[in-house]
A = this chain, B = another copy of it.
Amino acid sequence: MPYQSSINFPVNPENYQSLLKTVFEDMAPYSQIPGHPGFAAYVAGAGNFISNTAQLIAQTLNPFTGHYMMAPGLVTLEMEVIKWFQHMVGFDERGSQGFLTTGSSLASMSAISMARKEKVVGFDYSNVTAYTSADAHHCIAKSWAVLGFKKENLRLIPLKNFKMDTTLLNQKIEEDLARGFKPFMVVATLGSTKTGAVDNLKEILPITKKHNLWLHGDGAYGALFMLTDAGREILKGINEVDSVALDPHKALSIPYGTGCLLVKNKDHMLFDYLSDDSYMPPRPVDQVDYADITPELSRDFRGLRIWLPLKTLGVGPFILNLEEKLKLAQWLALEINSIKDLEVISNPELTILTFAHKKGNEETKKLMERINNQGTLFLSSCTVDGKLAIRFCLLGFRLHYDRLQKALVEIKGMV
């Protein structure tokens, strides 16, 4: 890049137009743009222009939304958005509570810390264990480390049909209990990053209930499919988990920096820590301040960039987008299986599918490079069952049948 960084604060004012030119011509073009119609590489939403305006308004008002009393109208707006999500997953809107985060990584980290507070006695975590699948997102392992647990005490349960093997889950918990470990939590993956598979909550719930474990659902990608009939079927049991993380910046096409944590019992969100905070505004009588239940205090006002597009368009177009992507994924799997030399590795449960060249990793790698060089679609790869696979993730509202059809014709010509 032609731009030269400096370690010193800029001393001289620079021309605003030239700076924008630098951003738009020298910096931004190198970026992957999830809003591009052909973007199907990672689990990302397309963003939307109403949210962008909402964010301009939010940052211009620059309110402090960590405490109700400092912006009661705008906090009420944010609370409404969160109630939509609480209601969507089937949580009672009075007993449960939630907050917006920058993404599911921080949402799941908060859930793990709440689970520890509720379920673990004492402060010796040497033998404290939690359970998630081998395909859990790596943010779970990262949070586990940041929160001060022992790496190997996060048990990565093997998969069966791309989902956590619940027989092995139960076995491992009982084995750990017999060996003196202290299980306190299971993290179910509600839509895995690699294959989109949703762990079977109906099988996991009896296990967590039997052993009194906190069940967290990492629904960063998948939980918002509760807006669709197919999703509600696949996610059955989500109303019984203790907490759910979800990312409006994925399946709801909100710009980046917009995640959410929902907790079934709002009392579980309160940590005992308050020392003198007499410099803060008075607390509301019948409401919880977000700053009291999240690790953040001051933060950007996130609610408006969900509220404004949903209120303006209604939820209909957002549901239609997900229903379209669910159907396209099913159709795409059939089409790819019909191409000689290609095989679907994981069929789509939601809108992610992986496939590979039958001749092996080298050919798969070459094929992906050829597809990405073509420019119709941008795909990425991952390792499934030790095999390199090309991954489609369909979420963007600008990606439709016509482009996928065109890409399929091109792919047929490549193999």
Which residues on A are within 8 Å of B, measured CB to CB? 1, 3, 5-14, 16, 19-20, 23, 26-35, 42, 44, 46-47, 49-53, 55-57, 59-64, 70-74, 76-77, 79-80, 83-84, 86-88, 93, 102-103, 105-106, 109-110, 113, 116-117, 122-126, 128, 134-136, 138-139, 141-151, 156, 193-194, 227, 247, 249, 255-259, 271-281, 295-301, 304-305, 308, 310-316, 380-383, 391
Least Cβ–Cβ distance between A199 and chain B, in angstroms: 16
Contacts of A28 in B (CB 8 A): 61, 63, 73-74
In the complex, 30 of the A-B residue pairs with CB atoms within 8 angstroms, ordered by the A residue number, are A6-B84, A9-B314, A19-B311, A23-B304, A28-B73, A29-B73, A31-B61, A33-B63, A35-B62, A42-B279, A44-B64, A44-B298, A47-B62, A52-B56, A53-B56, A55-B55, A59-B256, A103-B296, A109-B295, A117-B145, A123-B148, A123-B150, A138-B274, A143-B295, A145-B272, A151-B272, A247-B298, A257-B299, A257-B300, A259-B298
Give me 7 other A-B pairs in contact (C-beta within 8 A), A117-B148, A145-B272 excluded.
A6-B83, A10-B310, A13-B312, A27-B76, A31-B70, A47-B60, A105-B295
Contact A34 B64 (CB under 8 A): yes
Identity of the chain B residue whose Cβ is nearest the Cβ of A312 in the assembled complex: B16
The 8 A-B pairs with the shortest beta carbon distances in the complex, nearest first, are A257-B300, A27-B73, A31-B71, A9-B315, A279-B382, A47-B62, A124-B124, A278-B383
Contacts of A148 in B (CB 8 A): 113, 116-117, 123, 125, 147-148
Contact A134 B276 (CB under 8 A): yes
In Å, the complex CA distance between A72 and B3 comes to 12
Least Cβ–Cβ distance between A157 and chain B, in angstroms: 12
Contacts of A380 in B (CB 8 A): 279, 281
- Partner of A6 from B3, B80, B122, B227 at Cβ < 8 Å: B80
Contact B73 A256 (CB under 8 A): no
- Partner of A278 from B35, B46, B382 at Cβ < 8 Å: B382
